[in-house]
Every structure is written in C-alpha cells, then in structure tokens.
Structure 1
Amino acid sequence: MDQRILVPFDGSDASETALERALEENPDAEITALNVLDSAELAYGGVQGSAAESLTDAQREEAEELLERAEARAADHEGGFRTALEVGSPGEAIVEYANENDIDHIIMGSHGRSGLSRIVVGSVAETVVRNSPLTVTIAR
C-alpha cells in the first residue's frame, strides 16, 4: 500500500517548500494538503452575528483559494492528491486529522522562529512534533 502523507498548508513559503518536498520525494504517495482555520482568530475581537459569519466566510474563502493553489501545484502528481479544511487550534487539529485519517507521515514547514518570538508566539510545528505518534518531517 502506498504511503499517506499530510502536508499542513497555509500558503507560507515554508508550507510551499513542504508541499514541494512531499510531491518530489513521494511520487506514488497519497498526499493531503490541510489548511486549518485557527478558531482563536475566528473569535478574535468578540465579533458577533452577521459580522462573524462574514469574517468566517471570508477566511474560509481565503483558505479554499490556498488549497486550490496547492491542487494546482500537485496537478502532475502521480499519486492521489486531496485537500482538507479544518477549524481549531492548528497544532492540535493537524495531529487529530492525521490520527483520524490513517495518515502515515506528516511533512510540514517551519517558520524558523527563535528566541522570545518562539516562546511568545508558540510553534505549530513543535506542537505537532510533540503530540503526533507519526513520523514528522520539518522542511525548512
């Protein structure tokens, strides 16, 4: 059976690099590009009612455009390719998606933060590495 690979994809240079690496090094793998809408950002500012729905719709539309871009990059991929969109805390949602969808390997980018910004901002990649029972490759 071919390997199933998950690539968290947010449109950053790091996630683009991870996707390219997954596609080039795993031509027969089934690859899923996953975008996670951060639930903390969706609730930012206490937006309520129709304004909250518009914000969510705008963010969802942007996420779908990012995933379409990933699909275009994978157009020539011989293995299967799909996209997925989840809402939640990015690190936790990535690990949960991988566990629930029989993923074998996660390949993801790292934004390369260091020092105080890493401590304050946190790291999605670090959360995934610490919590995933799967092999995680960090592409810089």
Structure 2
Amino acid sequence: MQILIPIDGTDASQRALDFAIDMAVGMGATLHVVHFTNNETDATDAIMDDARERLVASDVPDEPELTTITVDVWNADRVGEEILATVAKHGYDHVVMGHHEDGPVERAVFGSAAETVLRAEAVPMTVVP
C-alpha cells in the first residue's frame, strides 16, 4: 500500500502525519509526504525538516519520500486539485490529511483541501481532526 500525506505545518497536519506514520508502520505501507506551496521559503524548509525528524524517529518500513510541489494559484481548492492530480499520477492507494475547523468566513473564502479531495471520491481517505 502507498499512502500520500500532504502537510502544511499546522497542528492538524502534524497530527495527520503522526497518524499516517503509525498507519504505514502497522500496515507495512510506503509513505510519501508532500508539501504544496506557492513560494518556497524558510517556512517550507522548517515544515519539511519537522516531517523528516518525525519520520527518522519512526519505524516506517520503506524509505519515505518527501517532496515539495509549487502551485501557481494558492487556495485550498487548488491544493485539493493538486493532491488529486498527484494521486492519479502516482497511483496512491490512500490519502491521510489533517483538517481543522474553520469559521464560516474562512470556509467561504478559502475552502478546504481535505474537503476537495474527500468530495472527489477518487481515493480512500482518512481525515484526522
């Protein structure tokens, strides 16, 4: 099994990464960690360094992949579409994503990448609150 875990550095994303690590260890799965951004900065490096540290401290069976993907248009729906395109391109079997509750204004303006992926019903998905 191949698991995709998109991360963004939020607490919800970190909880999802920990869950995905446990899932990969328990199932003997391959884990691919990806961070989508519109501009690589020191924050991007910090997000990936944190993920790398969590992976090194775990017993993930195969060498996990860590990738940063740059997207031109930056909103949650676009990130959700990029996640779906990544799933289709690489044939992932499962997606694990963090999701935090936003207020109605934030949801109306930004949407939710997790919601975009979930509604597409293109791949089995676990949403970690």
TM bin (shorter chain): 0.7 to 0.9
Q: Distance in 2 between matches of 1:37 and 1:132?
A: 24
* 2:62 is aligned with 1:83: no
* Between 61-70 and 128-137, the greater mean CA deviation after superposition: 61-70
Q: Distance in 1 between matches of 2:82 and 2:120?
A: 11
4+ aligned runs moved over 3 Å, structure 1: none
> Considering only CA atoms, is the larger Rg found in Structure 1 or Structure 2?
1
Q: How do 1:46-85 and structure 2 match up within 5 A?
A: 56=39, 59-75=40-56, 76-80=58-62, 81-85=64-68
**Any conservation in 2 of the 1:95–1:132 contact (CA below 8 Å)?**
no
State the Cα deviation string for residues 74-112 of structure 1 (Å, max 9, x = none): 112332211111122311111111111121000000021
Unaligned 5+ residue runs, structure 1? 39-55
SS of the equivalent of 2:67 reads strand
Q: How do 1:1-140 and structure 2 match up within 5 A?
A: 3-27=1-25, 28-38=28-38, 56=39, 59-75=40-56, 76-80=58-62, 81-88=64-71, 89-140=78-129
Q: Distance in 2 between matches of 1:135 and 1:114?
A: 26
The two structures have a TM-score, normalised by structure 1, of 0.77
**Any conservation in 2 of the 1:87–1:93 contact (CA below 8 Å)?**
no
Task: Name the amino acid aligned to 1:32.
Answer: H
The two structures have a TM-score, normalised by structure 2, of 0.83
Q: Distance in 2 between matches of 1:134 and 1:101?
A: 12
**Any conservation in 1 of the 2:24–2:60 contact (CA below 8 Å)?**
no
SS of the equivalent of 1:26 reads helix
Q: Distance in 2 between matches of 1:136 and 1:123?
A: 14
- Measured after TM superposition, the shift of residue 132 of structure 1 is 4.7
Q: CA RMSD in A?
A: 1.6
Q: Distance in 2 between matches of 1:79 and 1:26?
A: 7
Task: Name the amino acid aligned to 1:31.
Answer: L
**Any conservation in 2 of the 1:110–1:125 contact (CA below 8 Å)?**
yes
